[in-house]
Amino acid sequence: MRSIGAIGPSNQILLEILLEHVFTIRRITRQDQQLLMSTQLSKEGLNEEERLQISRVFDALQKGLLKVVD
């Protein structure tokens, strides 16, 4: 998947699709994990809901609710 970088309208849709996909299949690739981490750290253009959703992914990873796949 492409880097989300600064979040614009099309990138917000990509982020939403990625988050929905991760929670639906209960799996995340290392690439997607890195993408979310860099997106969260940049905090450019993220709204509160997007920050919370990304945090949910990392919480689920820590709790073992999501599986990391390559």
Q: Does residue 29 surpass a pLDDT of 90?
A: yes
Least-confidence region, from 5-14, 39-48, 61-70: 5-14
Question: Which tops the pLDDT comparison, 12 or 21?
Answer: 21
Q: Does residue 26 surpass a pLDDT of 90?
A: yes
Q: How far is CA 32 from CA 27, 44, 59, 69, in A?
A: 10, 18, 15, 10
Residue with tokens 């099309």, as numbered in its chain: 10
65 phi and psi angles, rounded to 5 deg? -85, -15
User: Using one digit for the tens of pLDDT, what is the confidence trace for 33-55?
Assistant: 998 998 888 867 788 888 899 99
Burial of 49 (0-12, 13-18, 19+ CB in 10 A): exposed
pLDDT of residue 8: 57
Domain ranges within the chain, ordered by starting residue? 16-69
pLDDT of residue 43: 66
